[in-house]
Amino acid sequence: MASRVANRGHDRCGTIGITVSDDEDRDGLRRHHINFEAGTMQVFGKNSTRESVPILDDALDPLRRWEQFREPADDEAVFPRLDKAAKALDPTPLITTQSARNILADLCKWSEYDFEESLKPHGARRGLGREIYRENPQLAQDVLWHKSIETTHEGYAQEAAKRTRDEANDIIGGE
């Protein structure tokens, strides 16, 4: 679930990590918001309008498998609550912030990796943002939907310093 699936605002999930919102004013990501052929989804952005965002391949393939497994109706939540109480409701309610945290904590326990602490939904966004920033800060700004490149630089200042050091070393070492 947290594998490079993106997010902006509160129900955006497609490019980078998952942000789940308990905000009742948002209707969340529904099946009809996803265009598998185009590799995009319509999300409710911070400006309160639906926007088209890309779904990275690392997220698109698992989403396809999830859809085949669940066979959801068009108005169903892509990431629903799966507890018995929620299944009795129509439509099935969206996953909550705490549920997403619990799922990641369970996955961390089940893995054979010794995590210092359980992964968190926003951590996927930060980690992928860092990877993209190392290669291309402008692309990181676009993928993270930061309004300005300065916001991206501020969020990844340590990466910016490392990138500058590496590039300077490449130039000096290349002489």
Q: What is the pLDDT of residue 85?
A: 77
Can you tell me the distance from the alpha carbon of 78 to that of 14, in angstroms, rounded to the nearest whole number?
Answer: 11
pLDDT at 150 over 70: yes
146: in domain? yes
55: in domain? yes
Among candidate residues 75, 40, 76, 45, the one with its CA nearest the CA of residue 57: 40
We report the CATH number of the domain holding residue 63 as: 1.10.443.10
pLDDT at 149 over 80: yes
Q: What is the pLDDT of residue 28?
A: 75
Count the domains in the chain: 1
Can you tell me the distance from the alpha carbon of 134 to that of 166, in angstroms, rounded to the nearest whole number?
Answer: 10
26: in domain? no
Q: How confident is the model at residue 68 (pLDDT cuts 50, 70, 90)?
A: very high
* Helix 121-135 vs helix 137-144: crossing angle, to nearest 10: 150
Q: What is the pTM of this model?
A: 0.65
**Average pLDDT, rounded, for the chain:** 79
Query: Which residue range(s) make up the domain with 156?
Result: 31-173
Mean pLDDT over 127-144 rounds to 90
Classified as helix, coil or strand, 44 is: strand
123: in domain? yes
Q: How confident is the model at residue 169 (pLDDT cuts 50, 70, 90)?
A: very high
Mean pLDDT over 142-166 rounds to 88
Classified as helix, coil or strand, 53 is: strand
pLDDT at 18 over 50: no
Mean pLDDT over 87-106 rounds to 80
Q: What is the pLDDT of residue 125?
A: 82
Can you tell me the distance from the alpha carbon of 166 to that of 50, in angstroms, rounded to the nearest whole number?
Answer: 39
Helix (H) or strand (E) holding 52: strand 50-54
Can you tell me the distance from the alpha carbon of 88 to that of 80, in angstroms, rounded to the nearest whole number?
Answer: 12
Mean pLDDT over 33-47 rounds to 86
122: in domain? yes
Q: What is the pLDDT of residue 112?
A: 83
